Chain A
Amino acid sequence: MSWLNRLLQRERLERELDAEMRDHLERQVADLVARGMEPAEARRQAALLFGGAEQIKEECRDARGVRWLEDFVADCRYGLRVLRKSPVFTAAAVLSLALGIGANTAIFSLMDRVMLRMMPVREPDRLVEFQRIMPVYGRGAISGPLFGQIQKLSSFDGALAQSWQGRRDIRFGDQDEKAAVELVSGAYYRVLGVSAAIGRTFDETTEREPVAVISHAYWKRKFAMDPGAIGKSFRLNDTVFTIVGVTPPEFFGTIVGQTPDISVPLGMEAEARGAQPVMQKSHYNWLSVMARLKAGTTLEQARAETGGFYGNLMKADAERQKDEVQKKNTLAMRLRVEPAGNGFDDLRRKFSEPLQVLMGIVGLVLLMACANIANLLLSKAAARRREIAVRLAIGAGRGRIVRQMLTEGLLLALMGGALGVVLAYWSANALVTMMSNGGPRMALDISADGRVLGFALAVSLAACLLFSLAPAWQSTRQGQQPALAEVRGSRWRLGKGLMVAQIAISLVLLIGAGLFGRTLFNMYSLDAGFDRHNVLLFSANFKKAGYKDDRLRVAQERVIAELKSLPGVTAASMALMPPVSGGGWDGDVDVEGYTYGRGEDKTSHLNAAGPGYFKLMGTPVLMGREFDERDGQGVPRVAVVNEEFARYYFKGKPAVGKWLSLGGPERAEIVGVVKNIKYRDLRQEFPRTVFFSAMQDVGSRPDWYSFVFRTSLPADEMFRAADAAVQRVDAALRIVEPKTLEQHVERTILRERMLAALAGIFGALALILASVGIYGVMAFQVARRQKEVGIRMALGAKPAAVVRMVLGQTGRLLVVGCVIGLAGAFAVTRLFEKMLFGVEAADSATFAAAVLALGVVAMAASWVPGRRAARVNPVETLRWE
């Protein structure tokens, strides 16, 4: 870098330049003396001939091509001096930029991790994932046999399967601990193109062996990167696995946000899960499948082949089915092939929309911040117009002064950006915690790497151009006018434009905040059919302790009895699916006296509840009774249905006393009708629902039951008491997943809470920025018109009239800004209509409220300078002028 060298050698070059000039001068003198001139006269002549040495040197420096860099260094020094001189302005500008840049960087770093970044594997853009789409339930996992058939498709060069097992109990020697375990097929590492950092991985030939590959992070955490970890073994569900390798540090697995500690071969699934093998069961859908496109095969070709293969498969299945609805559903099944270079898209699906909305919001906030700083800079430039006029007058080029002012902007932007990166790290961390939703923290690496820092830098530079170019250009225009003349009209125009822009942007942000706030409010206030306050729930590790069938039922009854005996507990029961658990159990229901039409949907949502469950949950029993201690084994089966079920099948006639069945010979008598309860989530309409008695349930998942109890005592204390109660039943039992019903419900509305909270924070921030901006512009405007105000008041205008004048001016700008903002909001809110609940994208009340809030703030912000103008003593103003 020769210019850098030259800059460093600047001192030497300066000396040489001096020497060269002196040499020239002395030769000239010598020549003149040689022609017979007096030495003194010769020196004078030579100097005259030579001209301005400084100017020549300056041009030589220019010619050397490092001028811009030297200027830049000088500009930076000067700029820092200027910024130090007005610390309040600097602090305000840096802080608002830091907020803007920080928010953008934080959201970007999450977006990058969740949506954009490719996995560190060989040719990630050639990887695809298979998504099985069912007509009613949406996405489903893939069964072992289907995975087997996918492996035979010709479009792909190998396929891999993966199954996340969550945190499991493992045992090293006699030491119990928990580790995140996943099962991966033998081809996993080969298809991804990932090889072990140390040791080896496994492949198709070794996938029946009890071996394990551990992640680099786990190796570091558990073994302090000791190579001796290879060959160590641990026990997982009674099978001993031996560690054979460690994956590379940059490899985090194939699911964004879930890093496995331990990967064991899919061939060992039964041993690893401690259960019956399911790999050959075609109705057990549990795998995530990825494949690598064969070289030369396009995604379209792969889709065509996969679609054709799966279509035939489903046709064959449908032919064996008798039920019309079932046939139709089977034929509507699809197997989609989607690019998966950044991993399985669970997290992407959940968060890509909210993240996009948030990115838009923080982008607007940054624009607001830029508009504000531009405004402040304009005012400052007005204050500096003497300095600028002087510099223009002594011959500084306009470009040079613009450059100086841009440098000041750059310094602000870089300071704001640096602080922003710190804020970003902190807030991205907070967001990951929020996104983890009370569960184990998602493994999202949000440390600021090159991409994130690059983004922050790019945003800072763009912001710098946005906020400093116009003011710099504007403030040098006065140079063309007589120096120091009163020329501020154009600054006022630009200021007004910025103010209108701020009003428009903040209106959009306020409306967005309002819509998301209303959505959350609706979620909280809707009648979900139960009372979520003062109810605690937990489940217990019955399965691990070896409980099943009758023994399990007896233990469950004893746990409920123990809970009821706790001081402060008013009721206790249990349910298979507490409301809004996300999942569901459903089946075709036949009902006494009801004949289905052709193609009519027979499915109802199913559930099971213990005695006194509905009273505990605050769900009114509308007719008949709810479950009680009578509804156990050895008596006829009973069922409770919801309002919607009764309405659908009995249309106002009494439902109690009728029977229903799940297609089999066994019938259950309807003993009660309860109010509708939300089943899967709060957004879902109330589905037809049948509750069976928990004490009669012999369903496939008896250990899934959650215990519920009602108490107004503190949750932590009660969970300790509940744990002790459970252990009184059996010392081997522990409570699992304790949570309040409020927490349980809140976890289902994570997206709404996240968007409402962040849109609210940024809406408030926008309002603050807007009020500062409006205050700044109007204060300037008042100062500009001080003379006019003085004259008016001298002529008898009342202070109130002066305030009215200022407010009127704000009002006109407010109207323009609001019209633009409303149009903008109208266009953008429709983009996220799907995320709203119980409120329309163009909700007029929200729009009106936002306009009102903004109007009040704008008027308040301009009332202050207006008031000050009205207090002005006219005599003093006129004298001052």
Chain B
Amino acid sequence: MNSAKADLPQGTLDMLILKVVALGPLHGYGIAQRLLQISKDVLQVQQGSLYPALHRLENRGWLKAEWETSETGREAKYYSLTKLGAKQLETERENWERLSEAIRLVMRTAE
């Protein structure tokens, strides 16, 4: 694995998936690719983490899934954000901002 790629902090994968899906319905592969793109190749999500996370979020009612025919003509499973998921994303974003600001402060003063 490429050493330039960073490990995801615990619990942030769910938030990132919600954020990416919030931009529009997307299939599993697309979500992984989009994450990689946006993060400029830093965040590479393993399928082993991605799919269980997607199913977990679907199970909680934050994502809903539909089977659609994709541009390639195959049936693909597209995930989109539910109302509940949008609310959850908002909460997690606020949390994250508070947390990262706090961590930033600590790291700065500690120097």
Chain A residues at the B interface, C-beta cutoff of 8 Å: 16, 19-21, 23-24, 26-28, 30-31, 49-52, 55-57, 59-60, 62-65
**Is the pair A60, B55 in contact by a Cβ cutoff of 8 Å?**
yes
Give 1 or 0 for each of B33-55: 1 = CB within 8 Å of chain A CB: 10000000000001110011111
**A residues in contact with B33, CB < 8 Å:** 31
Per DSSP, chain B at the interface is helix
Known: A28-B29, A52-B48. A23 touches B74 (CB 8 A): yes
Chain B residues at the A interface, C-beta cutoff of 8 Å: 27-30, 33, 46-48, 51-56, 59, 67, 70, 72, 74-77
Q: How distant is the Cα of A56 from the Cα of B75 in the complex, in angstroms?
A: 20
**Is the pair A20, B52 in contact by a Cβ cutoff of 8 Å?**
no
**A residues in contact with B72, CB < 8 Å:** 26-27, 30
Question: Smallest Cβ distance from A29 to chain B, in angstroms?
Answer: 11
Known: A20-B51, A63-B55, A64-B55. A26 touches B28 (CB 8 A): no
**A residues in contact with B76, CB < 8 Å:** 20, 23
**B residues in contact with A19, CB < 8 Å:** 75, 77
Q: How distant is the Cα of A57 from the Cα of B54 in the complex, in angstroms?
A: 12
28 inter-chain pairs at a CB distance below 8 angstroms, sorted by A residue, are A16-B67, A19-B75, A20-B51, A20-B77, A23-B28, A23-B70, A23-B75, A23-B76, A24-B27, A24-B28, A24-B47, A24-B51, A27-B27, A27-B29, A27-B72, A30-B72, A31-B33, A49-B47, A51-B46, A56-B52, A57-B51, A59-B51, A60-B51, A60-B54, A60-B55, A62-B52, A63-B52, A65-B59
A58: nearest chain-B partner, CB-CB? B52
Q: How distant is the Cα of A27 from the Cα of B70 in the complex, in angstroms?
A: 11
Q: How distant is the Cα of A31 from the Cα of B70 in the complex, in angstroms?
A: 15
Partner of B53, one of A21, A23, A52, A63: A63
B44: nearest chain-A partner, CB-CB? A49
A23: nearest chain-B partner, CB-CB? B76
**A residues in contact with B47, CB < 8 Å:** 24, 49-51, 56
Q: A56-B47, A56-B52, A63-B59 are in contact. List 13 more A-B contacts (CB 8 A).
A: A19-B77, A23-B28, A24-B29, A24-B51, A27-B29, A27-B30, A49-B47, A55-B48, A56-B51, A57-B51, A60-B55, A63-B53, A63-B56
Q: How distant is the Cα of A462 from the Cα of B53 in the complex, in angstroms?
A: 37
Question: Smallest Cβ distance from A54 to chain B, in angstroms?
Answer: 11
**B residues in contact with A64, CB < 8 Å:** 55, 59
**A-B pairs, 4 with minimum CB distance:** A63-B56, A59-B52, A63-B55, A27-B29
Q: Which of A24, A50, A62, A65 has the most CB of B within 10 A?
A: A24
Partner of B27, one of A23, A31, A51, A57: A23
Question: Smallest Cβ distance from B61 to chain A, in angstroms?
Answer: 9
**B residues in contact with A62, CB < 8 Å:** 52
Question: Smallest Cβ distance from A66 to chain B, in angstroms?
Answer: 9
Q: How distant is the Cα of A52 from the Cα of B49 in the complex, in angstroms?
A: 12
Q: How distant is the Cα of A19 from the Cα of B76 in the complex, in angstroms?
A: 8
B67: nearest chain-A partner, CB-CB? A16
Question: Smallest Cβ distance from A102 to chain B, in angstroms?
Answer: 42
B75: nearest chain-A partner, CB-CB? A19
